[in-house]
Amino acid sequence: MKHLRAMVEILSQDEILAIHHASLGILEKTGLGMPHEACLKLCERQGAVIDFEKQVVCIPAGVMEQFLDLVRSANAPARDPLKRGPIHGEISTQVHVVDYASGTRRLGTSSDILKGIALVEHLPNIPRSNAVCVPSDVDPRVSDLHAFLLLYLHARKPGGTYFLSPRTAACIMDMAEALGRRESYLLETVSPLRFRRESLEMALLFASRHHGLAIAPMVMGGTTGPVTLAGMCTLLNAEVLGSLFTCWALSGEAPGFYGHGSHAADPGTLLCSFGSPAQSLLGIATAQMGAFYGLPAGSNSGLSDSLQPDFQCGMEKLSSAVFSCLAGTVGIGCQGIAGADQGFSFEQLVFDDEWLDAYNFVVAGFEVNRDTIAEDLIGTVGIGGVYVAEEHTAEHLRRSWWKSTLFQRVGWDVWKSSGAATCLQRAHQRVEELTSGWEKMQPVVAGSQADELRRIADCGARGILSRR
């Protein structure tokens, strides 16, 4: 049987229904804060009950159930719900860049974005070339516009960053349309149970121009959500459902993904914890709730609280990713991060691409047929024989052995005689090898397109910066 099949569950069917009904009750009785009159009216058209004075939208349970029927019908169920496929990593734009060699952290720059583009080009398990940092060398009012310009000009892979204002978003969509692309805005709640007016304004803009909307509530257990995992699951589920409904009301389309970025908060520091074992439990529950609604699901697994790529980092990343993805999630947290959003690390991204490759090797399984069973070969080689020089070995070696580009498998003497490099040193060397010459990167789009992108960005930036 090729491909891995798995079932990992934490919730019974009765518990799934209990969370579901409690979430509907919250949306019907408490509702969502929505400080935007136009959005309130659009939700009202879809059956929501609106308190315009308090700017609250309440969604009757019957209305939500009808909406969820539409969601389920629009998303075909998996042919084999237990089959587990490969996963990949995304990049979350960070404010800082961590330099492990010097043990320092600094603000990111445009140069870091370009170096990130060059690196991601060579990482097969990082399919999108997102901006690795906010460019501090650019006026913050147009930093997202500048980052998108660099990505559109130089990245062969698609990618983006967070949209920071309606005005920059409009310019970015102009650039995207010039390239025939469709961007997507991440409409996030501010837990518990509210949206920002600015976020709703951006969502309306994207919907009006037929670009996409995505969601990712981020409940923090013990601070912006209940400390119990059941309470966290209920609140984040209510926010996921409410966000899906809001996107549908604004655009006529509902995102076909059950995703969130929720975490438990460390009670000692009140920082959100990326690597707590609770992430594994949340990931398993997320897979089950997503399946209940007929949606693929993702949670912030595959992350760590460690500020450096050490044992803690590897243990926390792999444990939450494996539990969550074997339960059925298809999306994990963003990669290349030091600690809980403490900064971007080029070396960490190389590590993350490597462990993703190893994970995907495992879930791909292996072929069992007459040739791979090799009964005849075993008989031919016989007792005490060696298989190294056999044609069968040469034919199947690449598919049977995962070759790491980073992790070593050598003896002690060889390791010492070759310099005894640490894993971090090897990762740094690989970063430098893969990004060699990044300073001389040329645009990957045609000259006329590059000129048009620069014109749109320059015109937009001048207009934005001329306003006080």
Q: Determine the average pLDDT of the residues in 461-466.
A: 96
Q: What is the structure's pLDDT at 78?
A: 74
How is 274-309 classified by DSSP, letter by letter? SS-THHHHHHHHHHHHHHHTT--EE-S-S----SSS
Helix axes 229-251, 37-45, angle to 10 degrees: 90
Q: What integer is the mean pLDDT of 346-350? A: 98
The CATH homologous superfamily to which domain 74-363 belongs is Trimethylamine methyltransferase-like (3.20.20.480)
Per-residue pLDDT tens over the stretch 268-316: 999 999 999 999 999 999 999 999 999 999 999 999 999 999 999 999 9
Q: Which residues contact 132 (CB under 8 A, 6 or more apart)?
A: 91, 93, 94, 97, 108, 112, 113, 115, 116, 336, 344, 346, 349
* Residue 468: pLDDT over 80: no
Whether 311 and 67 have beta carbons less than 8 Å apart is answered as no
pLDDT for 8 beyond 70: yes
Whole-number percent of the chain with pLDDT over 90:
96
Q: How high is the pLDDT of residue 439?
A: 96
Cβ atoms of 242 and 32 within 8 Å: the answer is yes
Question: Which residues, at least 6 apart from 436, have a Cβ–Cβ distance to it below 8 Å?
Answer: none
What pTM value is reported for the model? 0.95
Count of C-beta atoms within a 10 Å radius of residue 427: 23
Are 24 and 245 a contacting pair, CB within 8 Å? no
In 3D, which of 336, 439, 407 has the Cα closest to residue 129? 336
Q: Which residue has the higher pLDDT, 12 or 255?
A: 12
- As a whole number of angstroms, the distance between CA 317 and CA 123 comes to 18
Q: How many CA atoms lie within 13 A of 44 on its CB side?
A: 13
Task: Look at residue 79 in the predicted model and tell me its pLDDT.
Answer: 77
Query: DSSP characters for 325-368?
Result: HHHT--B---BSB-TTTS-B-HHHHHHHHHHHHHHHHHHT----
H-helix or E-strand containing 77?
A: none
Q: Is the pLDDT of residue 88 over 90?
A: yes
What is the per-residue pLDDT across 122-140, written as a single tens digit (0 to 9) for each? Answer: 999 999 999 999 999 999 9
Domain ranges of the chain: 74-363, 370-400
Please give the sequence-ordered ranges of beta strands (E in DSSP) within 151-218, or none if there are none.
184-187, 212-215
Rounded mean pLDDT of 192-201?
A: 98
Per residue in 140-158, pLDDT (tens digit) is 999 999 999 999 999 999 9
d(CA 438, CA 210): 35
